[in-house]
Amino acid sequence: AEINPMLGHRGCRIAVSYPEIYQMQVRAIFKAAYQLQKEKIEIHPEVMIPIVMNASELKLIVFGKKIEGKVYKGLVDIEEELRRELKANPINYKVGTMIELPAAAIASHEIAKYAEFFSFGTNDLTQTTLGISRDDFNRFMPDYSLYDLLEGNPFSQLAQPVKELIETSVNRGKMTRPTLVCGLCGEHGANPVNIRFCMDAGLHYVSCSPYSVPIACLSIAQIELERQ
């Protein structure tokens, strides 16, 4: 166990250290997909790799790598191997990544070479950008509110530095891949102020908890009506 579970050995880093875990997960995803194909059910899997900090990580996990005395089997190879094993027809699938680190946001033009979609995990992106966590922030939030050191709760309303990283990431990613699909996931996605920002920044969707979906839908509808 690590002292800070939000950082360190997690996400795609587990895939690098313990590739057998990701191989098992990838096989499970595509085995289920090919079973649905066999049942004549249309399926379009999207595999999202978390906590990527640079393009090299994503490239390794997707395409694998051969070095002296060692072979890292990538997602593409695992899928092809399973498809031959099951004698299945190819299916259309996409590979994307979570943008949860400032380093990833800045390197989005490189990451987009290997990612077909970005999902901004704004809870983690807020933590890694501001250096605070939801668990800690409530302890000193009253003082910060008293002296106007932050504009609201950054885990409810996106902080300006986080917004700028998202805009930078979207712009750089689309320069490399114009068809890149971008979205936001987390409770930020239910806040009307954040939704307006996402629409202005060119994001395609927001994702939030089920009970917040009606709020998000209403906010989007109101913004669209304003723009007509």
Please give the pLDDT value at position 193: 96
In a domain, 61, yes or no: yes
> pLDDT confidence of 2, banded at 50, 70, 90?
low
Strands of the sheet containing 46-49, edge to edge, are 46-49, 94-99, 117-121, 181-185, 205-207
In a domain, 4, yes or no: no
Quick one: tokens of 177? 């891949």
In a domain, 175, yes or no: yes
In a domain, 84, yes or no: yes
> pLDDT confidence of 7, banded at 50, 70, 90?
confident
pTM (predicted TM-score): 0.93
Checking if the pLDDT of 151 tops 90, the result is no
Parallel, antiparallel or unpaired: strands 94-99 and 65-67: unpaired
CB 154 within 8 A of CB 36: no
User: pLDDT per residue over 20-30, tens digit each?
Assistant: 999 999 999 99
In a domain, 183, yes or no: yes
Residue 71 CB: number of other CB atoms within 10 A? 11
> pLDDT confidence of 4, banded at 50, 70, 90?
low
User: At 189, which CATH number?
Assistant: 3.20.20.60
The C-alpha atoms of residue 5 and residue 10 are separated, in whole angstroms, by 8
Tokens 């390197």 map to which residue?
A: 107
Please give the pLDDT value at position 6: 67
User: pLDDT per residue over 178-202, tens digit each?
Assistant: 999 999 998 899 999 999 999 999 9
Mean per-residue pLDDT over the chain, rounded: 94
Could you give the percent of the chain with pLDDT greater than 70?
Answer: 97
Mean pLDDT of 165-182: 98
In a domain, 1, yes or no: no
List the one residue out of 125, 117, 133, 203 whose CA is nearest residue 158. 125
Checking if the pLDDT of 147 tops 60, the result is yes
In a domain, 7, yes or no: no
Checking if the pLDDT of 1 tops 60, the result is no
Per DSSP, the residues of 70-82 read EEEPPHHHHHHHH
User: pLDDT per residue over 93-109, tens digit each?
Assistant: 999 999 999 999 999 99
Checking if the pLDDT of 132 tops 80, the result is yes
The C-alpha atoms of residue 157 and residue 163 are separated, in whole angstroms, by 10
Counted domains in the chain: 1
User: pLDDT per residue over 29-40, tens digit each?
Assistant: 999 999 999 999
| Full residue range of the structural domain in which residue 129 is found | 12-227
Q: Is the pLDDT higher at 208 or at 99?
A: 99
